[in-house]
Amino acid sequence: MLKPLVIVALLIGAPVLAHAAEPTVTPRPEHGYFSVGKPRWFISTKSDIGILYLKPYFSAGYGRPHWIWAGIDANAILTMDMFQSYAGVRAASPIIDLAFGFRDTWSFHRPFLTPAASYSYTDVQRAPGRKARYWAWEAEAVGVAPLPYSALVADLIAIKLLDKPSSRFLYEESYRAIVADSMYAVLRVAAVARLLHENALKIGVLGEHVFETGRSSPVFRVGPIAALQLTDHLEILGVATFAVKSPDSLGLTLGTYGLVGLRYRWATDEPDPKLPWQGTFIP
């Protein structure tokens, strides 16, 4: 599960976007710290803590962690609005990333919805009924096209809701959109520029398209994304996308996708492990 952090994960998770070689007193790995070392069995983390959210994220498998590997993912997300847990399998590289898994979502505020042509913030937030809990499977494919000092990233996700009542609609906590059908899709495309020393700063524009939802029209959002690599293990990340097309009027609170946080990476048997407050400052 890469949600709700999937876009920033695309921005900074593919090491081909993270570093470029520059002359230094001590030579640095051309493609970043985690690109070197022997393939091995490992346990790793890329956990986040941010403004009003917490995401512990662990992986286990074989390869070079955070670079080229295959194995399993297990993670969870806790926000003010929901709790979600996920488990699945993944095969990852700097150019393509494939994943399949199951997630369980508990909404703290919003129930399944009575069908309507359009919803407002009040319609969703104050709807009567027991708060929604639902299972889903997700299949995801991420592709990265590296360019000089930049990159293009595409992320296609197919989602199948396994226990949504057929007579109800659902505000999907992961994708900030209301869906009618049990199966739908999300396409995200980002253009990213890489700046500063070792390309530590990544900034770009993200477009999100939530479609095949069974509603009268899809949801389209657009906005800025950014990440700053502080050390080999620690990054600042952020994203904010705003609805430019939607069948609903959910306002900034429910209709916008946004986050700001810190991400920490670690793996067993890495050459120079550091705690989050340790490490050489890169920018």
Provide the CA 49 distance to its chain's centre, in angstroms: 13
pLDDT, tens digit (0-9, with 9 covering 90-100), for 39-70:
999 999 999 999 999 999 999 999 999 999 99
pLDDT band at 31, cuts 50/70/90? confident
pLDDT at residue 71 tops 50:
yes
With a cut of 60, say whether residue 17 has pLDDT above it: no
CB atoms within 10 A of CB 84: 21
12: pLDDT strictly greater than 70: no
The maximal CA–CA distance of the chain, rounded, in angstroms, is 65
Q: How far apart are CA 69 and CA 62, in angstroms?
A: 6
pTM, two decimal places: 0.89
Which pLDDT tens digit goes with each residue over 82-95? 999 999 999 999 99
Cα three-residue angle 205-102-127, rounded to 5 degrees: 75
- Confidence (pLDDT) at 26: 62
Of the candidates 4, 17, 34, 7, which has an alpha carbon nearest to the alpha carbon of residue 155? 7
- pLDDT at 198 (0 to 100): 85
Give percent of the chain above pLDDT 70.
Answer: 91
pLDDT of residue 114: 96
pLDDT band at 1 (very low <50, low <70, confident <90, very high): very low
Give pLDDT tens digits for 202-261. 999 999 999 999 999 999 999 999 999 999 999 999 999 999 999 999 999 999 999 999
> Is the pLDDT confidence value at 195 over 70?
yes
Model pLDDT, residue 13: 47
Going by C-beta distance under 8 Å and a sequence separation of 6 or more, which residues neighbour residue 89? 70, 71, 72, 73, 99, 100, 101
